[in-house]
């Protein structure tokens, strides 16, 4: 019997950073082997090296990357997805129906620094008509920035 569990996860933002994580776990949940690779700018690669150094011991206790720079947000997503803990708060493809703004566009704006609903509106035009979608924009900001 093979005493291991293998997880593979990839996250990429078109035209920007991307990361790939493969983790092999022992039956007690400790990390037996972890391969983390990525492509991106210097800040992203520093965050990636920091996370790589922390991929030891209990898989469930590896701390999530901190900070709100795009690299930290991407690596947090990667780790949460690899653990099966990614709970993105909005499921539909289109978030703002008045302006026909896709959810992915709103999410990308948040990841690129639009950390308030006003900034998301100015970058994407979402929430600039009836305002019904604004709570969903706020929920994504809160989730991405890990705000309680």
Chain residues binding ligand FES by CB under 6 A are 96-99, 126-133
**Nearest distance, CB of residue 68 and ligand FES, angstroms:** 24
Which is nearer to ligand FES, 41 or 131 (by Cβ)? 131
Q: What are phi and psi of 13, to 5 degrees?
A: -110, 120
- Between 116 and 132, name the residue whose CB sits nearer to ligand FES: 132
42 contact partners, CB below 8 Å, separation of at least 6: none
Question: How many whole angstroms separate alpha carbon 99 and alpha carbon 106?
Answer: 12
| 3-state SS record for 96-124 | ECCCCEEHHHHHHHHHCCCCCHHHHHHHH
CB of 93 to ligand FES, least distance (A): 14
- Residue closer to ligand FES by CB (options 122, 132) is 132
Shortest distance (Å) from residue 103 CB to ligand FES: 11
């Amino acid at each position: 019997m093979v005493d291991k569990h293998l997880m593979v996860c990839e996250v990429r933002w078109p035209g920007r950073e991307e990361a790939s994580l493969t983790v092999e776990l022992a039956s007690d949940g400790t990390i037996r082997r972890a391969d983390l690779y990525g492509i991106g700018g210097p800040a992203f690669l520093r965050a990636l090296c920091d996370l790589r150094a922390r991929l030891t011991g209990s898989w469930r206790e590896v701390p999530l990357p901190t900070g709100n720079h795009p690299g930290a947000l991407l690596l947090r997503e990667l780790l949460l997805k690899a653990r099966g803990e990614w709970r993105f708060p909005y499921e539909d493809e289109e978030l703002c129906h008045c302006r026909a703004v896709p959810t992915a566009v709103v999410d990308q704006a948040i990841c690129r620094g639009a950390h308030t609903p006003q900034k998301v509106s100015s970058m994407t035009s979402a929430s600039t008509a009836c305002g019904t979608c604004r709570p969903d924009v706020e929920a994504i900001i809160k989730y991405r920035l890990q705000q309680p």
